[in-house]
Structure 1
Amino acid sequence: MLNKLFPVLNLRLLIVMLAFSASLATLISSFYSTYQVQKEQLINHTLKSNYAYANKLASATDNFLESAKQQLAYSAKKIEQNINNASLLQEEVTRLNLQTNSFNSVVVNKNGIMNVTSPYLPEIIGKSISSPGSSQALKEKKPLISMPYMSAAKNLIIFISHPLFDKNGNYLGYVGGSLYLKERNILNDLLEQHFYEGGSHIYVVDGNKQILYHPDKKRIGTSVTNNKVINAVITGQSGQVTVLNSKNVEMLAGFAPVTAANWGIVAQRPVKATLASLDTLIMEVFARTLPMALVTFILIGVFSHFISRPLKQLANSVNRLDEANSVDKLKRIKSWYFESQKLKLAMLNGVNILHTQIGQLKHDAQTDPLTNTHNRRSLNGLLSQLMLNNTPFAILEIDIDFFKRVNDTFGHDKGDEALKILADIIKNISRKGDIVSRIGGEEFLLVLPHEDSQSALKIAERLRTTVETTQMETIGFITVSIGIATWPTHSNNIDQVYKCADKALYHAKEHGRNRCVVAEPS
């Protein structure tokens, strides 16, 4: 079965199949992930928005209530000083009622009796009123915001009051303002600025879980139980949470307390309404993604061709490595991605290793193994190159004095060490471009391009003195004799230059050794 499939399932087809299945799985996964991420983001965003809005409204309501208390406190100072001036009292309560629309009605209670009102309410002037707000103000004798209560006229009211004292600190009564929670005032205007859409709304509750404000007027004054948001907000907590409301609808709620009155403000929106647009969004995403998916599948086919192409070329090049220009052809293959590039580099590395081994063999053939200097074969090639380029050079033929005595006295191992040390000294003396070669047992040749006899003599002297002052382990000190000749000054024939250097060397040996001699001109 595999043998039948093998000719069909080439690398290109395998890449297409793999990429197509992976792309399809990725597409399905991405739609699912997108839906889940968008759902989570919508819920989190709505929760944060509702919390921010509830917090903003709570802060604004706190500010309004504090402002109302400050207005009453200011008027209280004026009234306390003129408690018996009926016209001034009437003027002040009228101002409080009409100037800012903070209150639906304003009263001054003097000694438990309603003294003046705005708007004018003759039915209560001169009478003692026992409403919860009035009774609380007379009892506590301090600035306060009453708990909401139902008036005789069936208005849900909160009563804000400030006490009146004479200059001796005796309690005189209070000045107070009523807010009808079902009628228009600044508080209602503030709360009704909320934008309602898709079931989104706010409501306000007091410390007894009674609804003080709701877009459905019928619910104002009713109580809510078994609601964790209300339970939290009336204890002064704020935050955001998903909750089931009294109608068993899942809501995204943000809540914050109104600390001045022990109220709580809740901004919420149904989860269903929040996610209503998500299905439409996903379908739009699918419709817009489909053309790109088709383009992607086409690109997969194109890329599979370019991916498989260098591998096919590399496979074919393996069979042609014996050709003369196989390495150049291998280098020209465009391995544009990592794996094919690594494979190409591995093949080139293999070829380079082969060439390196050949090069090592060539190096071994041209290098003296003991001193790692050029041997005579390599030297001849380098000198030929210098002469071909018409580069003048000097030859220093160097020979160790009494080297046989060193071998006989200390052994050939110490003699080899002396040769290596001498080779290192010659290399240290030489410059870039100079050629160091061992041409015999204890004979070395130092070639100095662009040097004449006199400059070569100076270098030779420096070499000779360095050698004679270098102490070698066991052996002690050795000396060298050096013969110097130059090309083409002594001869255009390299063999004649060698002979001139030999003669100079023999002359140095015959005249005491440890000396440098320049060959006589031919």
Structure 2
Amino acid sequence: MVSNITLSYFFRVNLRRLILFLALLSALVIQFNTFYASYSVQRQLLIDNTLASNRAYASKLADSIDQFLQSTQQQLAYSASLLTAKFGDAELLMAEAERLRLQTNSFNSVVFVDANGKVVATSPDTLSILGKKLDSPGANEALNVRRPVISAPYISVAGNLLVFISHPVTDSAGRYLGYIGGTVYLKQKSILNKLLGEHYYHDGSYLYVVDQSRRLLYHPDASRVGEEVGPNLVIDAVLRGETGDMRINNSQGIDLLAGYAIVPMTHWGVVAQRPTQATLAPISGLMSSMLLNTLPLAILTLLFIWWFANMIASPLRELADSAQEMDHPATAERIQKVHSWYFESSEIKRAMLIGFKLLHYKINKLLLDVQTDPLTGLHNRRGLDLALDLMQSTRRNFAVVSLDIDNFKSVNDTYGHDAGDEVLQSLAKIMQNVSRDEDVVCRIGGEEFLILLPSVGSKVAEEVAERLRRQVEQTRFGPVGQLTISLGVAQWSQDLGDVEAVLKVADNMLYKAKRNGRNRVVVAESSDCV
């Protein structure tokens, strides 16, 4: 007796300590969750800000490149307008080519070409192409289309990766005289190269430019300029003409935050990107500062919870005891009697009462849905299995009546499945009318039905089956008219073993009834059940 009292006392002490522990743990979890949420928000803000910054940076740079290209075309157009009447003056053309190359440093070289494709002036003169016919892709394009052109990047005869920008020269009558063209070397010093190269490249951040053939036109690693880039989601997007941002892993497996934009005139793609690791580097300092600032308050909060948990232990313990018996019908009354003297426990009590009602409602509904055939409202195969398990576990004898509708396929074929469904529903009602409350009436598939009759022998089961057969025979099923059923009866007792065997016997009797002419009841003999 003393031992039981001692155990009970320590059990209650342990329960109180458990409540204190859970309260403290809850405070710690809340603190951790707050810390983690702050970390997640700060981390996402850094990523989002970097993506937005890189997108804006790429867009601004794409606009700058576009403005530079427009400027070069305007320069060529102006020179072409000045030389309309003096295109045959070689000395003047040489002077203009030199001025264009040196005045703005926009071009690495400048050429004047006549209508036959022959170079009539060039700067610098070290190119050694004066009087020769140019046969580069850019020169041929300018000569053929006879309009302002910015060529796709290509490698010249001298091995330079360049872009050729040209403008036609015509006389006052509109007759084509030739064109003026300027080259921009992508691997050598130029305004374009300077425009891209002057931007920041710290903490792993960098930018690059690609053309429509995925060739690198600019890259901080000069050795990669001219290289064709393989599969890359950012390049795929920008070459579709999109402007945006994306988080990706590059070919070296580095996690990067990329912004991208398109150059309208040339459809080149500009990509600015920064390693995610570098973006998130400041977050450690931010979180350390946050932890130090919140730690004193967290400690005070934990001490307060420790003190106050002792005051709330009593009602919570009663509610916890009740929570262990939520499946008991009397639990609701027990919860109602708990003295919840403060708001929080009162709310928990109210929530438990609501939850208790909801739980039992959902359990009952779930059990009904799981075990019920939706068409007829009878038990389904799952409900049958549960009933069989119960009867076998309680070693309760029962009889089985297995039945189905004779020639039911012709009903569906003649009157349609809707009429067939109405027949099945009507038959289900008849079966329920001839059955007791404790009987288990099931639809196990199609037009096949089954009735379990607990504590009933073969004789009584046969009478039930015969009464059901007559009732069906005398019923008119709407437009279908008269129908009949065939039934098989078998009995299970404790010495027969597996209950599934008796279902097979009942099925065999059902098939025997059909072979013997249908619309009849066949009862299994004791030898059939062995």
TM-score using structure 1 length: 0.54
**Deviation string, structure 1 residues 279-317 (Cα, Å, up to 9, x no partner):** 454344334432332244356578889x99xxxxxxxxx
| Alignment partner, residue 129 of structure 1 | 134
- Distance in 1 of aligned mates of 2:50 and 2:67: 25
Q: CA deviation at 1:248?
A: 2.8
Residue type at the aligned position of 1:42: L
Pair 1:27-2:37 in alignment: no
Question: 1:279, 1:174 → 2: CA distance?
Answer: 60
Which consecutive residues of structure 1, in runs of 5 or more, have no partner in the other structure? 309-336, 343-522
Residue 179 (str. 1) matches residue 195 (str. 2): no
1:98 offset after TM fit, Å? 1.6
Structure 1 consecutive aligned stretches of length 4 or more whose deviation exceeds 4 Å: 1-10, 13-19, 298-305, 337-340
Give percent identity, aligned residues only: 45
State how many pairs are aligned.
311
Change (3 A) 1:8 1:266: closer
Cα contact 2:207–2:272 (8 A) shared by 1: yes
Task: Write out per-residue CA displacement over residues 163-210 of structure 1, whole angstroms, 9 at most, x where no aligned residue.
Answer: 111122221111111101112222112112321222211100001100
Contact 1:93 1:117 in 2 (8 A): yes
Task: State the Cα deviation string for residues 299-356 of structure 1 (Å, max 9, x = none).
Answer: 6578889x99xxxxxxxxxxxxxxxxxxxxxxxxxxxx9959x9xxxxxxxxxxxxxx
> Does residue 260 of structure 1 match 2:260?
no
Q: 1:140 maps to what in 2?
A: 145
Q: CA deviation at 1:95?
A: 2.0
Q: Distance in 2 between matches of 1:54 and 1:270?
A: 16
Aligned pair 1:151/2:156, yes or no? Answer: yes
Does the Cα contact within 8 Å between 2:259 and 2:272 map onto a contact in 1?
Answer: yes
Please give the secondary structure, in 2, of the residue aligned with 1:80: coil
Matched, 1:202 2:207: yes
Q: Which runs of 5+ in 2 are unaligned?
A: 1-6, 313-340, 347-530
Per-residue displacement from partner, 1:435-487 (whole Å, max 9, x unpaired)? xxxxxxxxxxxxxxxxxxxxxxxxxxxxxxxxxxxxxxxxxxxxxxxxxxxxx
Q: Could you give the per-residue CA deviations for residues 40-70 of structure 1, whole angstroms, max 9, x where no partner exists? A: 2222222111111111111111111111111
Which of 65, 73, 92 in structure 2 is aligned with 1:88?
92
2:102 to 98, 107, 110: 98
The separation in 2 between residues aligned to 1:233 and 1:281, in whole angstroms, is 34
Contact 1:147 1:158 in 2 (8 A): yes
In structure 2, distance between residues paired with 1:87 and 1:282: 71
* 1:223-234 alignment, distance < 5 Å: 223-234=228-239
Counterpart code for 1:245:
N
**Structure 1 range deviating more: 170-179 or 30-39:** 30-39
On the 8 A contact 2:24/2:306 being kept in 1, the answer is: no
Matches of 1:186 and 1:338, distance apart in 2:
76
* Correspondence for 1:67: 71
* Superposed counterparts of 1:65-464, under 5 Å: 65-111=69-115, 112-121=117-126, 123-298=128-303
> Does the 8 Å CA contact 2:163/2:186 hold for their aligned counterparts?
yes
C-alpha contact (below 8 Å) 2:209/2:269 kept by paired residues: yes
Distance 1:24 1:81, change over 3 A: same
CA deviations 1:349-387 (Å, max 9, x no partner) are xxxxxxxxxxxxxxxxxxxxxxxxxxxxxxxxxxxxxxx
Residue 19 of structure 1: how far off its partner (Å): 5.4
Root-mean-square deviation (Å): 3.0
- For 2:58 and 2:127, locate their aligned partners in 1 and report how far apart those are by CA, in whole Å: 40
Aligned residue for 1:247, secondary structure, equals coil
Structure number with greater Rg is 1
The one-letter amino acid of 1:247's match is Q
Partner-residue secondary structure (3-state), 1:182: coil
Question: How far 1:22 sits from its partner (Å)?
Answer: 2.8
Separation (CA, whole Å) in 2 of partners of 1:30 and 1:196: 36
Q: Which moved more, 1:117-126 or 1:54-63?
A: 117-126
TM-score scaled by length of structure 2:
0.53
